[in-house]
Structure 1
Amino acid sequence: MLSLPAAALCCLCSALGSMAAELIQKDLTLTRRVGGKVSFSCRGTDQCDGSYVYWYQKRDNEAFTLILLIDGSNGEIYKGFNHPQEDDFSAVHKQNSVELEIQKVKLSHSASYYCSCWRDDLHRYYYLIFGSGTKLYVSDVQVVKPVVSVYPAASRAHLEGRSSLLCLASAMFPPLVQFSWKRRKDSGPLEDVPSAEGEQLQLRESGRTAAILLVHQREDSRYKYRCSVHHEGGAVEAPTEPEVCTPPPPLPSQHQVKLLCLLYTVLIVKSLVYCCGLSLLMVLRNKGPSTI
């Protein structure tokens, strides 16, 4: 069976994310009952050099395994990769997109699914770009939206002159969520937080997921920030828009200490992943497109 070590592929994806736009997998999670039908979308395939798009399956604590590839020029599917479930999958090509389909979902299909293709960077070497992945939950449990709250997470002094906000999502199923941040000044319109103004870090623990927004702004700034959480059950916005400079509301001290310690850990890990990705890119340099 053809596979890649999960750690190596994760490092590769992290490094490539800064170089090229990802393929677009709009569904973070999909929940289906046994016997149901499911379709995983992948858009943005017009970025690919060549017509082939690959679909991978990734189970928890296992390597990526290649399911099939589809030729976007004629819709032909190739499954010669010895995947044990290859007969359960089919693929459909549409304009600038492909879809992976399972007609009858089994419990053993519980996994994450990623699309991928090769791209040329104009310097005559190729690299893979990936979608963000869609995780399939095979369960009879009903989808439940998260409960969302926002807190100022720490003072400026603790974060070397930067302010921070903590957005907490809990009590949801499936447990995976995506965070986004917007801001407004006084009664002005909402706008996206500029990438130069803030950095977002995500932390997961049992039953909850937190996002910490590090904000780089002047002392006299009075922006208010709004956290939105994207979930399979729908988008949920936090009910308040706290200013980063206002006194923090009550927050259990054990959560505050734990999350702030994790914050510094994540900053270190991000630097290590970036270095790992650069090393892998050097290995791929001058490598022509091939099946991984």
Structure 2
Amino acid sequence: MLLLSAFTFSCLWVFGLGQLEQPEMSVTKAIGESAQIACKISPDHSDTDIHWYRQRENQQFDYLINVRQNYNQRPLDGINKKIEVSKDRQTSTSTLKVNFLKKEDEAFYYCAIWTYSTWIKKFSKGTKLIVIPSGKRFDSDIFPKPTIFLPSVAETNLHKAGTYLCLLEKFFPDVISVYWREKGSDKVLEPQEGNTMKTKDTYMKLSWLTVAEDSMNKEYGCIVKHENNKGGVDQEILFPPIDKVANIIDPTEASLKTENAFTIINPRESVLRHEHVNNSTDLEACLERRKDQLQLQVTNTLAFYTYLSLFPKSVVHLAFVIFCLCRRAAVHRDGQSS
């Protein structure tokens, strides 16, 4: 009976109950500083070894260190205490500390556990350590700033569906997670998204959700997880139901009374901006300026993706033309020599 219980526990550990969570998607530190990366195990298993791995870009996993009780450390690259790891038995959390940071330390770091009964190792999703130059400085507001687009009347009439688009701008670092859900529901919807693109020293990303026409009376949320979100809390950017937007007469009355208020511009054909304004004159000027900028950004982004999709076809076509020309020239020379 005891053996059966142990076997059952091991199976539950591997296939569901033994969960590893690294709360931070990314950690950004400057050269010469120290970085700490946390890993929480649930349920509590205070006597379990926690193993730590590193994976640099396009390289294999490197085994770093493990800890069972309280603390362990090891030298690396000839530096004493380059790697330190601790374990808090009360919270069942292990913390990896990387000291004397160099650019080469930039990588994904993973915690892992394994059970001796099954010999199966389980890894977390990982945290990316980003190492920036010691003198580099960013603005304090490098969190993702959203601009949202509502479905247009033309799209709804033509396709009997509507697309909600969330444009995230001016954030750093590039590690970001975006998902969508209907308000009041925990079910994650299936959006589409573009690649994260660099704009000067920051990044931008597009994510969009298409729903059927009869679902456009619901409220949808675009949830953004990022290292520099205010208060460390995920942003939830709400898209109002279309029927409510269509009934709005005064855009200033549509602003949500929160720190993350949105202003609605020209319902069903426009942009919502994560921004405050002082009066109606400033509102109109700001809206017009933002609308022009965003139209240009979206146009440039779509042109970029179109170029990427057509470039491989152009290369193949060019190679085929060159092959045909070379073959024709070879046949012509053979005919003359004979």
TM-score using structure 1 length: 0.60
Once the two structures are superposed, the pairs formed by residues 85-100 of structure 1 within 5 Å of their partners are 87-94=81-88, 95-100=91-96
Q: Which has the higher contact order (CA 8 A, sep 6+)?
A: 1
Identity of aligned residues (%): 14
Question: 1:149 maps to what in 2?
Answer: 147
Listed one character per residue, the Cα deviations across residues 217-260 of structure 1 (whole Å, up to 9, x for unaligned) are 66155112232433322247577625479845374345347669
User: Does the C-alpha gap of structure 1 residues 163 and 244 become closer, same or farther in structure 2, counting only changes over 3 Å?
Assistant: farther
C-alpha distance in structure 1 between counterparts of 2:213 and 2:46, whole Å = 44
Q: CA deviation at 1:204?
A: 1.9
Unaligned runs of 5+ in 1: 1-17, 185-190, 263-292
Aligned residues: 232
Question: 2:187 maps to what in 1?
Answer: 194
Tell me the SS of whatever aligns to 2:219.
strand
1:255 and 2:246 are equivalent in the alignment: no
C-alpha distance in structure 2 between counterparts of 1:27 and 1:227, whole Å = 19
User: Does the C-alpha gap of structure 1 residues 129 and 152 become closer, same or farther in structure 2, counting only changes over 3 Å?
Assistant: farther
Q: 2:65 aligns with which of 59, 65, 68?
A: 68
C-alpha distance in structure 2 between counterparts of 1:162 and 1:86, whole Å = 61
Question: 2:196 maps to what in 1?
Answer: 204
Listed one character per residue, the Cα deviations across residues 61-116 of structure 1 (whole Å, up to 9, x for unaligned) are 32221211222xx2364869x87778411100113210001233233322221212
More deviation, 162-171/93-102: 162-171
Please tell me whether the aligned partners of residues 149 and 167 of structure 1 are also in contact (alpha carbons under 8 angstroms).
Answer: yes
Question: 1:24 maps to what in 2?
Answer: 21
Tell me the SS of whatever aligns to 1:223.
coil
More deviation, 173-182/55-64: 173-182
1:232 and 2:227 are equivalent in the alignment: yes
User: Does the C-alpha gap of structure 1 residues 43 and 238 become closer, same or farther in structure 2, counting only changes over 3 Å?
Assistant: closer
Say what the alpha-carbon RMSD is for the aligned residues.
Answer: 4.3
Listed one character per residue, the Cα deviations across residues 147-186 of structure 1 (whole Å, up to 9, x for unaligned) are 212225795799x9765433222222222222244544xx
1:167 and 2:176 are equivalent in the alignment: no
Unaligned runs of 5+ in 2: 1-14, 244-266, 271-290, 309-338
Q: CA deviation at 1:27?
A: 1.5
Please tell me whether the aligned partners of residues 29 and 137 of structure 1 are also in contact (alpha carbons under 8 angstroms).
Answer: no
TM-score using structure 2 length: 0.53
Question: 1:108 maps to what in 2?
Answer: 104
Please tell me whether the aligned partners of residues 83 and 99 of structure 2 are also in contact (alpha carbons under 8 angstroms).
Answer: yes
Larger radius of gyration: 2
